[in-house]
Structure formats: C-alpha cells, structure tokens
Amino acid sequence: MKPIATALAALALLFHPALAWAGPLPADQLERIDAAARKALKDSGVPSVQVAVVKDGEVVLSRAWGKASETIPEAGPDLQYQIASNSKQFLAALFLILENDGKLDLDDPVSKWLPELPSGGKFDPAKFSENGRYFFNAQTLADYRQSLAPLGPLTGLELARPPRLRGGFVNRVFTLKFGKKELTLITYAEAGAQGRWEQFIVTP
C-alpha cells in the first residue's frame, strides 16, 4: 500500500459540527458523507479518501478516512497526495476559467507567466502541427537523441512507426522494434533543453 494510491473527493454538501456555522447540522447528511467515503475505500481498494466541503468559497470541512501508508496508520486532512498526471485535468480547467475571465490567453508563451522556466518561451506549436494535427519527423527525433542516450541498448533500434506527439507538446511517443516486439517510450521534451524532467518543472 503506497501513499500515492489514494482517492480524492470534493463533496459540497454540509458543514462540519465542530466549525462555526448557522444552525444545527442534520445527522443524516453527516452520515451520508461518512458512508460515501467508507464506500469509496471499500469499492476502490485505495488506502485513503480525503473529502473537502466548500461553501461560499470557504472550506468548511476537511477530513480524511483510511491509512496514509503502512507506517502511518491514519490519514489526515493535511496529507499531500502524489497524483501525477491527474493534476493536468485540474490545471486545464483552471486555465480555461482564467481565459474565460480574460486573465490569460491560451496562446501566451509559458515564459510570460513563468519567466524562470527553462526554454519556456521557445516552444512554437506551428513547428509540430499541420492543419491542427501534431506530427513528428526525422529531424525532431534527432534533436532529442540525447534524451534516449542513457537507455543504452535502445539507442539505434529501428522505429516501428513514425514518432508522434501525444496529447500535447510534452508527451513524445517513440515506438521501437525490439526483436518481434514493440517498445513504446514516452519522453518529456521541448520545455527543457534536453527534455529532462528537472528542466521541465520549476523547483524551489
């Protein structure tokens, strides 16, 4: 059981009785929240579930059920989860809201908002697209040969099909022939000079 195997839930239902709020809290609504969280634990097999209730822009309930890890028997509301690429959908929704409010343009270079990001202003969508579809060619593959170098035996293998860009400018997909089998590699590139993760993100 690992801390990253978790379920995150946001239920905008009720107030917590320990917090300041107007009027009594109906017991049946508390029971519904508790039952939903426990059911999620049972049905999904994840170690913990975290619930947040937001009313009028304020968090009025933050509670966790289950275990944080094998060595931490009880999860808490302040537990941080490593949700990996699941964060992309939340960021995408946030960007669309900000664009709708006129606070940013989706075509803005990343460097406009994160000037400290390496190569944040050098990405050109037109370089990798044609008629609205992304493509890959031999030159762009050669540009990122260094990112494959640490893989040793994989370097120089024949491509099973043309390389492609999957889902956006950072997910590059290479499918290589490995005997009678095919091996698919996904590398993060373009944002960093050599496509390495530490060059892709801004770290403290």
Q: What is the pLDDT of residues 27-39, one digit of tens each?
A: 677 788 889 989 9
pLDDT at 132 over 60: no
Each residue's pLDDT tens digit, 84-129: 778 888 888 898 899 999 998 887 877 788 777 655 555 555 554 4
Would the pTM of this model clear 0.75, i.e. be above it? Answer: no
Confidence of residue 179 (pLDDT cuts 50, 70, 90): low
| Residue (of 133, 138, 200, 144) closest to 172 by Cα position | 144
Instruction: Locate 149 and state its tokens.
Output: 């170098």
Residue 175 CA to residue 183 CA, distance in Å, equals: 5
Distances (CA, A) of 187 to 93, 97, 141, 166, 196: 24, 29, 11, 10, 8
